[in-house]
Amino acid sequence: MSSNKNYQWPRIRVGSDDFKTLRLHSDLLGDKSLLIQELLENSAEVLLITRPRRWGKSLNMDMLRKFFEIEVDEAGKLLPEEKRINRLLFTGGNIDLDIKGIKQLAALKIHTDVYAMEQQGKYPVIYINFKDVKGSNYQDIEADIKQQVVALFLQHVYLESYISHPTSFLKESQKEQLDHYFSGKLDKNDLKQSLRFLSELLYKHFNQKVYILIDEYDTPINNSYIRFGNKPEEFEQVLELFRTIFGSSLKSNPYLEKGVITGILRITKANLFSDLNNVREYTLLDTKFASFYGFTQSEVELLLSQLPAITDPAKIKDWYNGYTFGGKVTYNPWSIMCCLSNEGKLDYYWIDSGGTALIDKMLLSDEMQVYLQNLTAGEPIISPIATQISFSDITKPMGLFSLLLFSGYLNPTAKSPEKNIYALSIPNEEVKYIYETRILQWVTDQLEIDSVRYYSLIALLPTCRVEDIEAFKTQFQKLLCSTTSFYQTGENRAELFYSGFMLGLIAMLTPDYIVESERETGSGRADIILLPQAGRSDNAIIIEYKVAKTLKDLPSVAEIGLQQIIDKKYDTKVKEHRYVKKLLKLSMAFCGKQVAFAYQIDTVSACTNENK
C-alpha cells in the first residue's frame, strides 16, 4: 500500500458492461480495442466467439457497438460532429461531464489504424443481449424475448414515424407489422422475423448495411435445459424459436454487413446454426481473438503499475492466472478487476458471479467425483475435447470435460491438438476452491448432514486432545452407520466417498491451515499434512487413510498406516515450523460403514508422546 495518506485509490468499476461508462468513470480499463482491427480483417460474414462467463464478452460487444454505430438524435438524424462522443472514446480527448467537469481520455490502440477509423460511426447497429432471458417453461422464454425485442425497437424509436408517414418506403403490411413491435402486440412470427425486419428498416433509413451483435446467445437455452429440458417438446420449441431468429437475420440477409455472436459454448444437435454456412467459430482453443478475452501477463503488469504496491504479483498469479487459451497465458479478467478494486484482496470472486447452474449440476453428480478428486489432487486428465457439445453428451466424460473447459473450469495443455486431445488441469487457486466446495457439498449430501454440522465434527481434530479425537471417531462412526447412500452401489462407490470425505475435511480446515496433500516429506508422501497458519493455531496434523478388505483387518490396517507415518518420517517438514507445539499423527482405516483409528499425539518441543 502507498504510504501517502493523500493518495486516492483509482476508481475501478466492476460489473458494468457499458463501454462508455467504463471509459468515462473508471480509471483502469484493459485496452481491447484491437479486437476491432481483427474483426474487420476477418473475411467471415458471421463470427461466433465463445468464452467463459465474465471474460469480457459483453463489454467487448458494447465496445463494437460504440465503435460502429451511427450516432443520431431522437428523429434518427445524424448528430453534428461536435456532439458525437463515441469517436472520442477511441481517439481520446476531452469530454464534458457537465457538473463532474472535464474528463481527459487517453487514446486507445485502435486509433492508429487508419482503415478502421474510417469505419468508425458509419453503420447502423443491432445489439441484443439474451443473458436475462429465462423461465420455467416455453411461455416464460417467449415473453422475455418479446420484452427484449420491444426494447430493441424502442432504441430506434424514430422508425415509428414511418407507420403514419404518407411517403414512407414501407408497404401497408410492413407498417402494420412495425406497429406490432412498438405496441408490444407481437405474435410468434413477429419474434422470428424481428432482427431481420429491423435490419431492413435500418438499411433503408440509413442506406447502409447493418452490424448485428447477438450476445449471450446460449444463456436462455442452457437455462431452459436446466429447468425444463426433461420436457422434450417444450424444450424443442425454445430451440426452434432461436433457430428461426438466427436463421432469418444471419443467413442470406441482404442488409447484413457483419454479424457477431457470443456465448460460452457451441451447442450441437440443437441445429441453431445448421442452415448458416457463413458462420465461423472461434473458441478458446483458437489463436485468433485469444488476446482480447482475459488479461495477458503484460496487461496485468500494466494494470499493477498504475497502482501502489499491493498484493504480491506472484500470489495474484497463483490465484487468477493459469489459463493457456489460444496459446496465450491468460488471467481471469473478472477476478483481476475485483481484486484490484478491493485494493489487492485475494478472494473467490468468480465463484459468486452467477450463471453456474448447469456446471453445478454436473459437478455434484456421482459420476464426476472421481475426476474432481483426481483434479484436486493435482492429477491432470487426458481427454479428447469436443468444440461442439450436445446436451445428451454432457453426462459423458468427453462432453463433461469439454463443458468444464469452455466454461473456464479447466486449463488445456495440448497433447495431440490435431486430434483435439488435451491434458486438462485446474488452472489456479480460485478454481481449485470451487472444486473443493463442490466435493464438500457432495460428501455432506452422502452423509445427509449440512456443512455446519460437518464442520463441528471436523473441528474436533485440530485440538489434538484425546477426548476430542475419540468424540470425532464416535460421531463419525454414527454418521457412517446412519447414512443410506454412499455404500449402496458397492466397494468402488464407498472408496470414492472415503476420498471425498478427506478432501472435504481439507476444505473445512483451509481457513486455519496450510494444506499439503500428497506432499513428499521424509522418505515418502503423506496423504494430508495440515500446517497451522501463524496466529491461527499451533497444532499440526498428519493424516494417512487406508481401505481394508475385511472388517477384521480394520484395526491392523489402521496401525499399519500410523506406523507408516512414523517410519517414513512424514513429520520432517512439520518440525521445521518452530511455532508448532503439538502434532497429531492420525491413521484412518475404512471398510464399508466401519472405521478404525490409530493415532499418536506428539508434543513437538518436548518430544513426548501420548499414544493411543
Q: What is the pLDDT of residues 212-249, one digit of tens each?
A: 999 999 999 988 988 998 899 999 999 999 999 999 99
The residue behind cell 476430542 is 468
Same domain, 160 and 270: yes
pLDDT-derived band at 20 (thresholds 50, 70, 90) equals very high
The confidence score (pLDDT) of residue 610 equals 46
The range of the structural domain enclosing residue 393 comes to 356-435
Q: SS3 of 283, please?
A: coil
11 within domain boundaries: no
Q: Residue 522: pLDDT above 60?
A: no
Domain harbouring 368, CATH code: 1.10.10
Is 5 part of any domain?
no
CA dihedral 416, 52, 232, 249 (to 10 degrees): -100
Residues 6+ away with beta carbon under 8 Å from 20 = 62, 66, 85, 86, 89
User: Do 192 and 329 reside in the same domain of the chain?
Assistant: no
Query: In this structure, is residue 414 part of a structural domain?
Result: yes
Whether 463 and 572 map to the same domain: the answer is yes
Domain identity same for 72 and 217: yes
Distance CA 206, CA 344 (A): 48
CB 56 within 8 A of CB 16: no
Percent of the chain whose predicted confidence (pLDDT) is above 70? 93
Q: Is residue 14 included in any domain, yes or no?
A: no
Helix (H, G, I), strand (E, B) or coil at 189: helix
Of 245-259, 271-285, 396-410, 445-459, least confident by mean pLDDT is 271-285
Gap between the Cα atoms of 578 and 605, Å rounded: 8
Count other C-beta atoms under 10 Å from residue 523's C-beta. 10
Residues 415 and 532 in one domain: no
| Closest by CA position to 509, among listed 554, 472, 475 | 472
Tell me how far apart the alpha carbons of residues 534 and 581 are, in angstroms, rounded to a whole number: 12
Residue 163's alpha-carbon distances to 157, 158, 166, 174, in angstroms, are 11, 10, 9, 8
Is residue 351 included in any domain, yes or no? Answer: no
Helix axes 188-206, 172-183, angle to 10 degrees: 110
CA 68 to chain centroid, in Å, comes to: 29
Grid look-up 474436533 returns 460
183 and 122, same structural domain? yes
Summarize pLDDT for 116-163 with one digit per residue, the tens.
Answer: 999 999 999 999 999 999 999 999 999 999 999 999 999 999 999 999
Beta strand pairing status for 210-215 and 125-129? parallel
Cβ atoms 141, 224 nearer than 8 A: yes
75 class by beta-carbon count within 10 Å (0-12 exposed, 13-18 middle, 19+ buried): exposed
Between 436 and 51, residue with greater pLDDT: 51
Same domain? 302 vs 380 = no
Tracing cell 423461465 back to the chain, one arrives at: 135
Domain termination residue (choose one: 386, 405, 435): 435
Query: Residue 267: what are its φ and ψ, rounded to 5°?
Result: -90, 115
In 3D space, the residue among 428, 346, 419 whose CA is nearest the CA of residue 386 turns out to be 419
Number of domains, the chain: 4
Q: Does residue 421 sit in the same domain as residue 536? A: no
Cα gap 296→303, rounded to integer Å: 11
Which 8-state DSSP code applies to residue 112?
G
**Could you tell me if residue 458 is inside a domain?**
yes
Do the domain assignments include residue 7? no
- Average pLDDT of the chain is 89
- What is the Cα–Cα distance from 565 to 560, expressed in whole angstroms? 9
Contact predicate 323/331, CB 8 Å: yes
Helix (H, G, I), strand (E, B) or coil at 412: strand
In a domain, 230, yes or no: yes
Mean pLDDT of the 507-536 span: 75
Domain endpoint, select from 403, 435, 467: 435
The Cα 264–Cα 231 span in angstroms is: 23
* Backbone φ and ψ of 95, nearest 5°: -125, 130
130 and 205 part of one domain: yes
Residues 472 and 327 in one domain: no
Q: Do 256 and 313 belong to one domain?
A: no
Q: How confident is the model at residue 294 (pLDDT cuts 50, 70, 90)?
A: very high
| Contact yes or no for 442/451 (Cβ under 8 A) | no
Is residue 393 a contact partner of residue 266, using CB atoms and an 8 Å limit? Answer: no
- Tell me: do 332 and 378 sit in the same domain: no
Determine contact, residues 17/62, Cβ cutoff 8 Å.
Answer: yes
Q: Judging by beta carbons within 10 Å of its beta carbon (0-12, 13-18, 19+), is residue 309 exposed, middle or buried?
A: exposed
How far apart, in whole angstroms, are the C-alpha atoms of residue 192 and residue 186?
Answer: 10
